[in-house]
Amino acid sequence: MQFPQRRHAFTLVELLVVIAIIGVLVGLLLPAVQAAREAARRMSCSNNMKQIGLGLHNYHSAFNKFPYSASQAGSITSGTAIPGLTKVRNHRGWMGVLPYIEQQNLYEEMDTSASTGAYVRDSGQSTLSGPKPGEPGNANDVVISTAVQSFLCPSDPNPTHYATTSSTSYSISPGTTSLEGAFTNYEFSIRRTSSTAPRWSQDDLLTRRMFGMDDSSRMRDVLDGTSNTVAVCETLRGVHDGVPQTWGYTKWVGNGVDLAYSLGINNLLCCAWDTIPFQRTRQASRLSAWSTSGSVHPGGAQFTLADGSVRFISESTEISILRHLAYIGDGEVIEEF
């Protein structure tokens, strides 16, 4: 008589041991997987900044100058109305760079003779050039509400658009369009406050950044060397004080990033006006204030130099060194950073 073979099965204890081992392995592998993903995102971010650097060089080759950071703006920086009696268009320099970063079609949709944002601080002195965005005859709001992937860091978890459409200070054109302004993670190196010399050409020669208001720099102006000067700064699409950078239009604050500003890189404390440090809170993806540099890449942020190369700069870098990297002609050349 043949008896059926007895089947061997796992006991409950054995199953629990196997599950525990799998859990430990997953726990050990997860940080490595996350690190690999962040490394890939950081590489993509670096490629974006290299593309932008190449675009700036191609722009310079075409026009023998770099673009301005902002021009004919009705916004303010440090309390100064710009541009006074001239017509307001609220243009950003990234508009002219679009054809050189494979965005020719988007550029051709723009009407460069009309405004890209409706904000005018002093209505008694300044008026918009042409109809507001969203009104008949001006379709620029559609363009500047477009999220351009070359302007976005994939590591940044913040929104890609300014979600409020009714703000009179930050929206594209409240009351006439419901479209949301598109942010950028990469910004021109500028002077954050312009209360005494709003135009780039009026900035002090020793503390002049590479970009600024209304005027344009040239390669020859970068006296400290293109490999020692920051052109484009990485920033976050989230801030505690103010509103992040928008690539297509100017607003109340924020027409670039100031690497020389006292908050340095990755200052995440809220808020800048709170002088008691222990009362401040920290949020990993929100910078303390507008026009400051930072990222969620561990330890620092990425920067495009004037020669088109991309460098990662540590958040622990002293402010004095950051200032020399931001200034294009102060005679202090920082070769190791």
Tens digits of residue pLDDT in 19-65: 877 877 777 766 655 666 777 888 999 999 999 999 999 999 999 99
In a domain, 4, yes or no: no
pTM, two decimals, is 0.86
Least confident of 7-11, 158-162, 183-187, 234-238: 7-11
Residue 83 has pLDDT above 90, yes or no: no
In a domain, 9, yes or no: no
- At 275, is the pLDDT very low, low, confident or very high (cuts 50, 70, 90)? low
Give the DSSP letter of residue 228. G
**108: which 2 tokens?**
């051709």
Q: What pLDDT is stored for residue 284 in this prediction?
A: 73
Q: Are 298 and 278 in contact (CB under 8 A)?
A: no
Q: Which helix (H) or strand (E) holds 241?
A: strand 239-241
* Count of domains for the chain: 1
In a domain, 231, yes or no: yes
Omega before residue 45 within 30° of 0, cis: no
* Cα separation, 84 vs 91, whole angstroms: 15
The CA-CA-CA angle for residues 110, 113, 114, to 5°, reads 75
In a domain, 76, yes or no: yes
Domain ranges, residue 215: 17-326
Residue 79 has pLDDT above 50, yes or no: no
Residue 98 has pLDDT above 90, yes or no: yes
In a domain, 258, yes or no: yes
Q: State how beta strands 287-289 and 239-241 pair.
A: parallel
Tens digits of residue pLDDT in 153-203: 999 999 999 999 999 889 999 989 999 999 999 999 998 865 455 678 888
Q: What pLDDT is stored for residue 337 in this prediction?
A: 72
Residue 265 has pLDDT above 50, yes or no: yes
